[in-house]
Structure 1
Amino acid sequence: MQNEVAPQKHTSTRRQWAQRYTLGTLTGNLIVYGFLVLLFIVTFFPFWHIFVLSLNDASDPTYGQFMMWPSAFSLESYKTVLNDAEILNSIVVTVGRTVIGVPLTLACIAMLAYALSKRELVGWRGINLFFVFTMYFSGGLIPTYMVVRSLNLIDNFWVFIFPGLISIFWMILVRTYMENLPKEMEEAAQIEGANDIQIFLKVIIPVCTPVLATITLFSAISHWNAWYDSYIYTYNPKLKTLSAVLVKILNQFQTNDMLSTAQQLANEQRKMPVSSESIRMAVTMVATLPIILMYPLLQKYFLKGMLIGAVKG
């Protein structure tokens, strides 16, 4: 009888522990998911609020109040923004610097990272320290401006490309990723008669897709959102980037002129009027949406590239 009672006690004890574990796991999951939902609401609501206001009629009495969707739908703000010559020109400049700057940045970073991933390189440690030194110490704004001016890049489109062509932090990510690749791949290619350029283009680059996609996303965001270099190095209005124009509009430097034109068009065509607030919201959405749409395309590479590229220091 004692032998029959003992297994029953063990079985009941296991069931109790299993129930406690299941209850604890469920509670933990609820806390985690609840926190994530709250974090999503906190981060997503400001963006949604701007989006709703940009689509709402500015003459609506409820404009600016809390609303989950437009109470009076209107596209007048977007029409006003997209009819503005300066904004259209800034979009062209921003798209141009992104389309040109991202591939050049990827090419330069990949080549530099591949060279510095070879520890047998003469002076490898000193060269790496030279590059890392620039991450912590810079010449400052005035010396940088003097260098840019001496290169005749003031009021030049290429001032958006050359000064920030290489990011040392991104290079370290790519270099670390390459250092973790099996050496047997390069050895096999060398046995087949491939030279260094062929190995780099046909062996290394294809397997570095995750980290290069991550750098692509970083670089595209950096170029698209850049405004300070446009503010410092360009005076020609035709070279202003979209973010620089957005800063001007948010500071109400151009809103009054745009509004007067918009009101004339509205009166002539009997359309809904716009306000300075609706214009700001519409410009913000125009500047934000394109770069946000890149995340779903590169999301599957982003986390993998960040984790593998940061295994070593």
Structure 2
Amino acid sequence: MTRKAKKPMRFGDLFFDILNHGIFGIFTLLCIFPFYYLFINTISDNALVTAGKISFYPIGIHFDNYLAILQLGDLVTAIGVTISRTLIGTVLMVFASALCGYVFTKQEMWHRKLWFRLIVIMMYLNAGLIPWYLNMAMLGLTNNFLAYILPGIVAPYNLILVKTYMESIPAELEESAQLDGAGYWTRFTKIIFPLSKPILATIAIFGAVGHWNSFQDSLILMQSKPELFTLQHKLYIYLNQASNLAATMQSGGTLSQGQVQNLMNIKVVKYTVAMVTVIPILLVYPFMQKYFEKGIMLGAVKG
């Protein structure tokens, strides 16, 4: 059999493709440019960065700013706290979501529909900031690292995604293991959990990004323990310091030479810290993208 000749593209289709690719190309550049701008300011000459003369390309390239970050002891501690809460919180959240989602797929669960409906209702009800803080204080989770971990172990949205995905797995796989004498735990660990990798990778992305970017819990709950501040909280502090010094200069206040030098340092440091907070997500997300797309599609629609 001979191959059919490829049908020539009509002018209208060609014009649409060019326009479509052009629009999305421009949109992509607009999304990438802030990260690019941030990066070139961290590797350019600090005096030029402070003067605002770096716009489209780096000048006086160096990587001393990233090395200088290691000299900030409190920032290194904040990085350690953020990495710890992200790893521990994400692992526990994924395992708890998988286990709870599996339990909710069982018809024999006691009042299964009632408990599931209560969990769904939790997605729409929020007591507010003050009741949340009072509750955390009564539980002893202020100035406590566990405040980063315990509240986020089970998230209703993640639980719904995992439950829906697990219900799409052919029941015959689990039934055959049950006939061979496998219990719930064996079936969960040997069959269901491995087959649920796409949706678990998806909620792992949600959890990791949420933990990495979170700073409100650190700001409100860790007021007496600076050693438990997260990286985002430290970035917030640096931004405030730079803003306050800049406001003093603009209002005609007098600053000492040391304060002016400090302003320059803070501006450079805040760019570098901001870049440090973004780099891990930019590195991890592309590798998880295939699981993310598959997990969202299969976890959102029951097969």
Asked if these proteins are the same fold (TM beyond 0.5), I'd say yes
Which segment drifts farther, 144-153 or 41-50? 144-153
Q: 1:243 aligns with which of 229, 232, 236?
A: 232
The answer to whether structure 1 residue 301 and structure 2 residue 291 are counterparts is yes
State whether structure 2 residue 215 is matched by structure 1 residue 227.
Answer: yes
Paired AA for residue 266 in structure 2:
S
Q: How far off is 1:136 after superposition?
A: 0.3
The number of equivalent residue pairs is 286
Q: What letter matches 2:235 in structure 1?
A: L
In the other structure, the counterpart of 2:85 is 97
Match of 2:181 in 1: 193
Say if 1:22 and 1:310 are closer, same or farther in 2 by CA, change over 3 A: same
Which letter maps to 1:250?
L
The structure-2 alpha-carbon separation of the partners of 1:284 and 1:180, relative to structure 1 and needing over 3 Å to count, comes to same
Query: Which residue identity lines up with residue 118 of structure 1 in the other structure?
Result: K
Spell out, residue by residue over 1:100-150, the C-alpha distance to the aligned partner (whole angstroms, 9 max, x if none).
Answer: 111111111111111112244332221111001110002222222222112
CA distance in 2, matches of 1:107, 1:289: 26
Deviates more, 1:184-193 or 1:120-129: 120-129
Change (3 A) 1:61 1:50: closer
In structure 2, stretches of 5+ residues that fail to align are: 246-256
Q: 1:121 to 1:24 in 2, by over 3 A?
A: farther
Cα distance 1:194–1:184, how it changes in 2: closer, same or farther (>3 A)? same
**Are 1:156 and 2:139 an aligned pair?**
no
Amino acid at match of 2:289: Q
Q: 2:42 aligns with which of 50, 54, 57?
A: 54
Matched, 1:279 2:269: yes
Equivalent residue letter for 2:206: F
Q: 1:184 to 1:134 in 2, by over 3 A?
A: same
CA distance in 2, matches of 1:194, 1:180: 20
SS state of the match for residue 106, structure 2? coil
Q: How does 1:193-212 map to 2 (within 5 A)?
A: 193-212=181-200
Q: TM-score, normalised by structure 2?
A: 0.87
C-alpha separation in 2, matches of 1:81 and 1:253: 17
Aligned to 2:253: none
Q: Secondary structure at the match of 2:11?
A: helix
Q: Could you tell me how far 1:173 is from its partner in structure 2? A: 0.7
Return the alpha-carbon distance in structure 1 between the equivalents of residues 52 and 162 of structure 2: 45
Unpaired runs of 5+ residues, structure 1, are 1-14, 265-272
Asked if the contact 2:242/2:267 (under 8 Å) is kept, the reply is no
CA distance in structure 1 between the aligned counterparts of 2:23 and 2:13, rounded to whole angstroms: 15
Query: Residue 247 and residue 232 in structure 1: after superposition, are their counterparts in 2 closer, same or farther (change >3 A)?
Result: same
Per-residue CA deviation, residues 220-271 of structure 1 (Å, 9 max, x unaligned), is 1111111000011112100100000001111126997xx959969xxxxxxx
| Aligned CA-pair RMSD | 2.6
What displacement does 1:301 show? 0.5
2:105 corresponding residue in structure 1: 117
1:190-240 alpha-carbon deviations (Å, 9 max, x no partner): 122211100000000111010101111111111111100001111210010
Task: Judge conservation of contact 1:91–1:242 (CA < 8 Å) in 2.
Answer: yes
Checking the alignment, whether the CA contact within 8 Å between 1:255 and 1:276 is kept in structure 2 is no
**Aligned position for 1:176:** 164
**Do structure 1's residue 31 and structure 2's residue 14 form an aligned pair?**
no
Cα distance per residue 1:127-176 (max 9 Å; x no partner): 11100111000222222222211221110111100112111111111111
For 2:281 and 2:184, the matched residues in 1 are separated by: 35
Aligned twin of 2:61: 73
In 2, Cα distance between equivalents of 1:311 and 1:181: 12
Percentage of pairs with the same residue: 35
Instruction: For 1:311, give the aligned amino acid.
Output: V
CA deviations 1:51-98 (Å, max 9, x no partner) are 101111121389534533311113333233321111011001101111
CA contact (8 A) 1:57 1:63 kept: no
CA distance in 2, matches of 1:100, 1:164: 11
Tell me, yes or no, if the aligned pair for 2:41 and 2:54 is still in contact at 8 Å.
Answer: no
Of 133, 137, 141, the residue aligned with 1:145 is 133
Q: 1:149 to 1:84 in 2, by over 3 A?
A: same
Q: What's the secondary structure of 2:10's corresponding residue?
A: helix
Cα distance change on mapping 1:88 and 1:261 into 2, 3 Å? farther
Q: Which amino acid aligns with 1:97?
A: R
- The higher radius of gyration belongs to 1
Distance 1:176 1:260, change over 3 A: farther
Given the two structures, how large is their TM-score scaled by the length of structure 1? Answer: 0.84
The match for 2:10 is: 22
- 1: CA distance, partners of 2:15 / 2:106: 50
